[in-house]
Amino acid sequence: MQSRTMRGFLVLAVAAMLAVGLAGGFVASKENRVTTSENLNSVLWMQTSVEYQMSVTQAYRLAEVMVDRALTDPGWTAIPEQTNARDLRKTAVIFDLDETVLDNLAFQGQLLLDNVPFSPSLWKNWQTTGSPTLLPGAGRFIRRLQELHVDIFYITNRDDAHADETIKLLRGLGLPVDADGANLLSKNKPPTKGSDKRSRREIVAKTHRVLLLLGDDLNDFISGVHGTEATLEGRDRIADAHEGFWGTKWIIIPNPIYGSWERVLYGFDSKLSHQKKLEAKLRHVRGW
């Protein structure tokens, strides 16, 4: 009888503590609970940390070293299928744009502050009216390529429908764009189609020995790694098969916020709800 009274008292005491937010552990009072996003740490790492800034600086410094090496080796090409490298006098470096040359972190930060997920319409709005900046080292490396008379190509999945805005943006940042915009190969630029970049790389490789590829996504380097056919295992296999390209001909810039690395975790099914995507992602987390 006595112990039942005691148990009842304890239950009431714990309930009261929870109600006023005095319980320890992970139970926070309602007013101390923060609304956050799964991207909070990734966005802050990229917006505030020296570690990210220097990772990018380091990647561009490596690119400078490798471009000198590439120029002295007439057989050197960053495109595995390029067989005409020795016949070509013109040389090129191919850049992805977003999170490789351009810093769109204000866009990512605003999504987080507004607590809204990425959407194509918000991205389109940023693409046409936003003001990205240059990543550290990008401008300096591009100027160096100009001194070396190496041509610069941008292969981006910004849509070709907005090519005029992209050209204006690049010029505004002091980046070289041909008078006819020929060195900007946006998504769906005729005669190419879709977000796979292989056909656009092939256009460059017809006329130029490609010295380096720079990007933040596996799709910036090799085909068959994004889209509903892609799998984690397949991406690993393809990346491993080109092991000798990484850090020599292929220079990758870190991007922990978004990319095909994230979409493959839910099978590139963009129609899934946010909740379903989270559930799919959690199934990939490995514990001990």
CB of 100 vs Mg ion, minimal distance in Å = 5
Residue that the structure tokens 């009216």 belong to: 129
The enclosing H or E element of 252 equals strand 250-252
Residue with smaller CB distance to Mg ion, 76 or 221 = 221
The single residue listed with the structure tokens 């690395």 is 261
Residue 208, phi-psi category: left (phi > 0), alpha (psi -120 to 50), beta (remainder):
beta
Q: Which is nearer to Mg ion, 103 or 151 (CB)?
A: 103
3-state secondary structure of 238: helix
Choose between 96 and 159: whose C-beta lies nearer to Mg ion.
96
Give the interface with Mg ion as residue ranges (CB under 5 A): 96, 98-99, 216
Give the nearest residue (CB) to Mg ion: 98
Residue number, 85 or 101, with CB nearest to Mg ion? 101
- As a whole number of angstroms, the distance between CA 164 and CA 124 comes to 13
Q: How far is the CB of 258 from Mg ion (least distance, A)?
A: 9
| Residue 168 φ then ψ, to 5° | -60, -40
Q: How far is the CB of 259 from Mg ion (least distance, A)?
A: 7
Q: Furthest-apart CA pair in the chain: how many Å?
A: 96
d(CA 213, CA 10): 65
| Half-sphere exposure at residue 184, Cβ-oriented, CA atoms within 13 angstroms | 24
Query: Smallest gap, in angstroms, from Cβ of residue 101 to Mg ion?
Result: 9
Q: Compare residues 151 and 216 and give the one whose CB is closer to Mg ion.
A: 216
Task: Tell me how far, at minimum, the Cβ of 137 lies from Mg ion, in Å.
Answer: 16
